[in-house]
Amino acid sequence: MTDDTLLLGPTLRFDGDPFHLPWAEAVSIDTDGAVLLRDGHIADVGRAAALTVAHPRARQLRYDADRLICPGFVDAHMHYPQTAIIASWGKRLIDWLNDYTFPEEMRLADPTYAREIAARYLDLTLAQGTTTVASYCTIHPHSVDALFGAAADRGLRIVAGKTCMDRNAPEGLRDTAQSAYDDSKALITRWHGRGRATYAITPRFSPTSTPDQLAALGALWTEHPDCLMQTHLSEQTDEIDWVRDLYPQARDYLDTYETHGLLGERAVYGHAIHLTPREIDRLAETGAALVHCPTSNTFIGSGLFDLRGLAGRGIPAGLATDTGGGSSFSMLRTMAAAYEIGQLRGTPLHAAQLIWLATAGSARSLHLQDRIGSINPGQEADLTILDLASTPAIAQRSANASDIWETLFATIMMGDDRAIAEVWIAGRQIPAPP
């Protein structure tokens, strides 16, 4: 007997970065592909005929031509505590935080509610084909425990951290420089590297942290350099003005982090829309990653991220829903929004680039590219099987497509949870939602 599982069907493969190579050289779809799963990992990839002969005892699952075996989607920036307030009407960033976000995050002071929201969020995103997320929690250490625990229960790879704020937030959502350091250090000891968990040191953003708190978190990162550091950068112009008032000695927004030891290769900055030339130069020099949050950037009127220009500078970029500032839990909808923003900037993206951003690109931004995000031997077997004819509208467009890329593009632009035929987590098939 063998525990090997052989998936047979159209298979998406990456051979490079489609923002640095012609997309046709970097991304391919083998319409007669196969993927062998063993012990939670991808053991072999190739042509169906060859792998069927090479692994005759493997259990076989054969997918039709309108299915596509993809890496699981990787959401590189989101806020699980905001699950219940997604799609709240009509606010700019600072008002949105005060009117919606902070009141909801205060509810997670209740550990039972935190566990409820963590479980709800992960189930919602799994139904959308998302197999890894990088999330902000609240200031409450138990909110971190809730998310890491819920992810462990589901076997998910997870990146998360306690959100740290010691000013410009309501009482009940503020910690201190010392407690932010102490709580985060204890959480790193408890969770970082345990199972499939990665800890991210998480100042919310410079306006809600004093220089002392940023310095304390910078010192913590120096002590634990294998952790990630996630925060926000240059999301809206009025936010940048606020940062300038709070940090008058800083050269720019990025400098508020750099001065306090929060810039480096394992830094991940969400949004980064309104960057100065100096900031772009420093990001490129240090290898820090940026995360494109297109539905959020349009929903709260932040601006248009320059994906092409920043990728051209060699800055790693991922893709994210940014729920609940973002308006959808779906990475398909997020890819569609990235395409639309590219069109507005005069730099439309090909389907191959969009799917790469939502998988391998996001994995690279989180320094997980050796584990997830691609279908290669040795990778963890997190997979999403797409139905490329999931609705009548998509099916009729697919029937008239000239090639597989037009077919995939129709699902990216019009797909939703109905396009998620199956999800596999560490080689285990997840039951379809009711």
pLDDT computed for residue 120 by the predictor: 97
Number of domains into which the chain is organized: 2
Output the furthest CA–CA distance in the chain (Å, rounded): 68
391 contacts: CB under 8 Å, gap ≥ 6: 414, 415, 418, 419
Q: Are residues 85 and 63 in the same domain?
A: no
Please name the residue that has the structure tokens 């969020």.
121
Task: Read off the pLDDT of residues 107-120 as tens digits, 9 standing for 90 and up.
Answer: 999 999 999 999 99
Using the predicted structure, report yes or no on whether residue 434 has a pLDDT greater than 90: no
pLDDT score of 1 more than 60: no
Q: Which of 330, 345, 365 is the last residue of a domain?
A: 365
Q: Using the 3D structure, point to which of 345, 365, 385 is the last residue of a domain.
A: 365
**What CATH number is given to the structural domain containing 65?**
2.30.40.10
Q: Which amino acid is at 8?
A: L
Q: What is the CA radius of gyration of the chain?
A: 21
> How far are the Cα atoms of 159, 218, 311, 318, 363 from residue 283, in angstroms, in the given order?
21, 17, 11, 14, 18
Q: Which two tokens stand for residue 8?
A: 């047979």
Q: Pick from 320, 339, 365: which residue ends a domain? A: 365
Q: Is 258 found in the same domain as 164?
A: yes
Q: Are residues 177 and 271 in the same domain?
A: yes
Q: Model confidence over 288-299: pLDDT tens digits? A: 999 999 999 999
Residues 297, 350 share a domain: yes
Judgement on whether residues 111 and 254 belong to the same structural domain of the protein = yes
Q: And the tokens for 9? A: 């069907």
The answer to whether 6 touches 34, Cβ cutoff 8 Å, is: yes
- Give the separation between CA 249 and CA 170, rounded to whole angstroms: 26
What local confidence, expressed as pLDDT, does residue 51 receive? 98
Whether 406 has a pLDDT exceeding 70, the answer reads: yes
**Distance of alpha carbon 49 from alpha carbon 286, whole angstroms:** 45
The DSSP call for residue 67 is: E
Q: HSE of 125 in the Cβ direction (CA atoms, 13 Å)? A: 36
Coil/strand/helix, residue 70? strand
State the residue range of the domain holding 33: 5-71+373-430
Amino acid at site 179: S
Residue 432 scores a pLDDT above 70: no
pLDDT band at 89 (very low <50, low <70, confident <90, very high): confident
High-pLDDT (> 90) share of the chain, %? 93
**What's the CA dihedral at 394, 400, 402, 404 to 10 degrees?**
30
- Please provide the average confidence, as pLDDT, over all residues in the chain: 96
* 62 and 122 inside one domain: no
Tell whether 379 and 257 lie within a shared domain.
no
Instruction: Quick: pLDDT tens for 52-68.
Output: 999 999 999 999 999 99
Q: The tokens 């829309």 sit on which residue?
A: 273
Domain match, 347 and 391 both: no
Please tell me whether residues 145 and 123 are part of one structural domain.
yes
**CATH number where 114 lies:** 3.20.20.140
Which string of DSSP letters, residue by residue, matches 328-372?
-S-HHHHHHHHHHHHHHTT-PPPHHHHHHIIIIIHHHHTT-TTTS
Three-state DSSP class for residue 116: helix
Q: What is the pLDDT of residue 315?
A: 98
Q: pLDDT per residue over 186-244, tens digit each? A: 999 999 999 999 999 999 999 999 999 999 999 999 999 999 999 999 999 999 999 99
pLDDT tens-digit readout, 127-176: 999 999 999 999 999 999 999 999 999 999 999 999 999 999 999 999 99
Residue 332, pLDDT score: 98
Q: Which amino acid is at 286?
A: T
**Spatial separation of the C-alpha atoms in residues 153 and 157, rounded to whole Å:** 11
Residues 125 and 194 in one domain: yes
Terminus-to-terminus CA distance in the chain, angstroms? 32
Which residues lie closer than 8 Å to 316 by C-beta, 6 or more apart? 287, 288, 289, 290, 361, 364, 365
- Do 80 and 67 belong together in one domain? no
Whether 107 and 34 share a structural domain: no
Return d(Cα 98, Cα 66) in angstroms, integer: 46
How big is the CA angle at 144 (ends 159 and 122), to the nearest 5 degrees? 60
Burial category of 391 from C-beta neighbours within 10 Å (exposed 0-12, middle 13-18, buried 19 and up): middle
Residue from 337, 326, 389 nearest 133 by CA: 326
Condensed to tens digits (0 to 9), the pLDDT of residues 6-43 reads: 999 999 999 999 999 999 999 999 999 999 999 999 99
286 burial class (0-12, 13-18, 19+ CB within 10 angstroms)?
middle
pLDDT at position 279 over 70: yes
